[in-house]
Amino acid sequence: MSKFYDEAYKWQLYEKYRDGFTLTEICEIAGVTDKSLSEWFKRFDAQYAQASTVDLKTVHRRNTDLRFAFQQKEAELFLLQNEWDITEIPEPARITCARQVLDRYGPNRVCRTLKIRKSNLYYHAFRRPEFTTYEKRDQELLPAIQKICEASPKRIGAERIRQKLMEQGFTVCKKKVLKLLCEIDPSYVPPEKKIGSGFTWDRSCTNLLARKFSPPRPNMAWLSDITDIKTDAGTCCLCVILDLFSRRIVAAHLNTQKNAGLVCHTFQDAFAVRGSPKNLLFHSDQGGQYTGHQFRGLLYDCGVTQSFSAPGVPYDNAPMESFFASLKVEEVHRYRYHGISDLAVSLREYMDFYNNRRPHSSIGNQTPAQAEEIYFKKQSAASISADCAPFACKK
């Protein structure tokens, strides 16, 4: 394998030659062939001849100083690239610094030192437009937002500003409005979320059902949830209560608003239709309609125990989610509804079909009505009303 020698080492061998060492002795000391030594020494002799007025010791001293300075620069570069992690500095800031020294040091050296991709540097230095499409759009939004803020005697929130911008023809999200508001006024701080009152209930939001989806009798566990259905007139909210034993729809209400009143009316209808059952477990998600004081107070007055799914875990309420999936696939997504009246008629027909004519695999491919009828015949108990509670369609 070839071995390379720097000029300083060659100079040391040349000084030995000048001090009286022979080529054979220097070959044994350095392990270099006499041919190489002869070429090196001839070159140094030529330098002596051409620069008789130059003090070669001074030149050698300057070379030594330059080597020392080079070692210092190498140490500084190592400190810059390793001891201080330059990758933690944002790339746009590094690119800005690189553009300032690009002409002086060249792209290769600058990119290696600052750890920048050459393609990114070329794009920002030569091909990037003065303003991108998003930056131009921000320049249009800024004066519009500032005008809205100045027209309001009090500071209005980002959502209200977004609504006013949409009225002016802009399409913008709330997050973008917040970002531009902070640019207009750096002291602007988004409002914090409201914290609820310290009122606590005896029953916490625990999952008492624990995914036991096969109770031994009716009116032992009810499931409930709310889903949104779109019509030409707007979005409607459907609240449903399902008996877990037979998968029967006990009650359902349709409204244009998703609030605690919708849930309370649905439960009151179901509780009345089922004859005010005792030892009932009511399971739902942790939506505000179910965890609010109004509904929890209603359940407490009726002697009903409340159970909740874990946050963000729809599997804890799987039978209810399965019903909504069947409803939308088999009925809702097949039609277009002009308003809440058309939707209510369609839902009544489907729930009658679901309760009385649609077999369910989890109850032995029986209909919910058949499952309850067989149970009460076996128990020799009086039959109860099996009709679904009517819709409360608010016009």
Instruction: List pLDDT tens digits, range 4-49.
Output: 677 878 888 888 888 888 888 888 888 888 888 888 888 888 776 6
pTM exceeding the 0.75 threshold for the entire prediction: no
Mean pLDDT of the chain: 81
Alpha carbon distances (Å) from 43 to 3, 11, 265: 19, 11, 105
What letter represents residue 94's amino acid? R
Q: How many residues does the chain have?
A: 395
pLDDT in tens, 176-209: 888 888 887 776 666 555 544 444 444 467 889 9
pLDDT higher at 365 or 270: 270
- Listed in sequence order, the DSSP H helices in the chain are 7-18, 23-30, 34-50, 56-78, 91-105, 107-114, 118-122, 133-151, 158-167, 174-184, 260-273, 288-291, 293-301, 318-330, 340-356, 368-379
Q: What is the pLDDT of residue 243?
A: 93
**82-107: per-residue pLDDT in tens?**
655 666 778 888 888 888 888 888 88
pLDDT of res. 245: 92
Q: How many CB atoms lie under 10 A from the CB of residue 171?
A: 9
The mean per-residue pLDDT over the stretch 126-133 comes to 71
Eight-state DSSP code of residue 66: H
Which pair of tokens denotes residue 254? 């349709």
∠ CA(318), CA(323), CA(328), 5° rounding? 125
Distance CA 64, CA 74 (A): 15
Distance CA 185, CA 165 (A): 18
The architecture of the domain spanning 221-379 is 2-Layer Sandwich (3.30)
Written as one string, the DSSP assignment of 315-333 is: GGGHHHHHHHHHHHHHTGG
